[in-house]
Amino acid sequence: MVRVPLSPQERQRGERFGALLRRARGDRSMTDVAAAAGVSAETLRKIETGRAPTPAFFTVAALAHALHLSLDDLAAACAEGAEDGERAMSA
């Protein structure tokens, strides 16, 4: 099976998602948040740095739960041109 390369927009969305998670994590350690979500710290690191721009749904759901974020708010904040959504998530 050949994986189709991601578009620049998909990569940017992954970068927005990673930045949003970093802000939501605040001063909590990456290890603590990863453990609370049931994922490895390396997985969280890859997502936060944009190296894993398309994480699995259940990984996203677990991170949202661990960070007390709504999936609806995450989706809106990560949508293309979502600068206003990102500000709303950080408020």
Can you give the pLDDT at residue 1?
76
Can you give the pLDDT at residue 79?
79
Instruction: Tokens 């749904």: give the residue.
Output: 57
Per the domain annotation, does 44 fall within a domain? yes
b/e code 19-40 from CB counts within 10 Å (16+ = b): bbbeebbeeeeeeebbeebebe
Q: Kindly report the CATH number assigned to the domain that includes residue 14.
A: 1.10.260.40
| Dist. CA 13–CA 24, nearest whole Å | 16
Residue 24 belongs to what domain range? Answer: 8-90
Tens-place pLDDT, residues 61-90: 999 999 999 999 888 888 766 554 444 455
Q: Report the number of distinct structural domains present in the chain.
A: 1
Predicted structure pTM score: 0.82
Can you give the pLDDT at residue 86?
47
Per the domain annotation, does 2 fall within a domain? no
Tens-place pLDDT, residues 13-69: 999 999 999 999 999 999 999 999 999 999 999 999 999 999 999 999 999 999 999
